[in-house]
Amino acid sequence: MTLPAPAPVYYTRRLRAYLVDLWERREFIWFLAMGNFKARNASTAFGLFWWVLNPLLLSFVYYLVFGLIWSSDRDILYLMAGMFVFHFTAQALTGGANAVLGNTKLLANLRFPRIILPIANLLESAMGFVVSLGLLLVLGGAIEGHLPGVEFLLLLVAIPLQFLFNLGLACLTARLAVPFRDVNNFIPYLNRIWLYLSPIIWPLSLLETASMDGLARFATYNPMFSIISVYRTVLLGYEFDPVALSTFAIWAVATGVIGIAVFIKYEGNIVRYL
């Protein structure tokens, strides 16, 4: 009589088999991401540039209102750096919710690890994000003469960490959006509230005023606070904050592990809700 394996051993074996299956389908993930990308941009004149144009136009709108009409110490590059980084995460929330619901026929006819869908969707967004970072580096050099030095290497850490953070969020919204379709309607409002609570439109100097003590305490618990801080070090030459990088890493690992674990645990029930 063969005894069942202890629970830790059993789940470790399942996870290993799942990861092996995922790795063997890496080409499928890439072709799925490229196919979605081409289909999404086939009917537009600007194509990939829309991934840059959307946060770019929003940055100009907020700069017009908060930087010129309500004169403050915010500049256009400050807004753009925050908006581009936030837009990548906001796209993960929206894309995660649509990744499963938009591929019902694929799910019904093929057997594969379902997490491939949010990963492919996130890869598509990541390409636009990398292009937007390149544009911002060029503008930073042209407008302020900032040329990235050693801090440029932070991107090798920041981009994978944000990808993991975004994947965790995408998995959570994908998990919730299948049985609860109304999640899609709430996500735009969640993104807007998160935008206003992040140091993008408002300047960091606002936290130094006595009337904003409550906001200053709350801001440190917002993951976008540390994420944007790390990117501004690279893109705008802000002083490096090791606490911000450590907080960024903790948020990324925790959100990624929780989101991926929740999705994998319940992915076998996805088809029954479609």
pLDDT, one tens digit per residue, over 132-162 is 888 777 777 766 666 667 778 888 999 999 9
Query: Cα separation of 86 and 60, whole Å?
Result: 15
| pLDDT computed for residue 164 by the predictor | 94
Distances (CA, A) of 26 to 59, 119, 126, 145: 35, 10, 16, 40
Reading the chain (274 residues) residue by residue, the pLDDT tens digits are: 444 555 566 557 777 777 787 787 778 788 777 776 666 655 555 556 666 676 677 767 766 766 555 555 557 788 888 888 998 999 888 887 787 777 777 776 777 778 888 888 888 888 888 888 887 777 777 666 666 677 788 889 999 999 999 999 999 988 887 777 777 788 888 888 888 888 887 776 666 665 555 666 677 788 998 999 999 888 888 888 899 899 999 999 999 999 998 888 887 777 666 6
Q: Which helix (H) or strand (E) holds 5?
A: none
The single residue listed with the structure tokens 């440029």 is: 152
Query: Cα separation of 249 and 161, whole Å?
Result: 6
Reference 80, options 212, 231, 256, 188; nearest CA is 231
| pLDDT computed for residue 247 by the predictor | 92
- What pTM was computed for the model? 0.82
Query: Cα separation of 131 and 246, whole Å?
Result: 26
Query: Cα separation of 184 and 177, whole Å?
Result: 7
* Whether the Cβ atoms of residue 256 and residue 162 lie closer than 8 Å to each other: no
Check residue 69 and report its DSSP letter. Answer: I
C-alpha 18, offset from chain centre: 24
C-alpha 47, offset from chain centre: 20
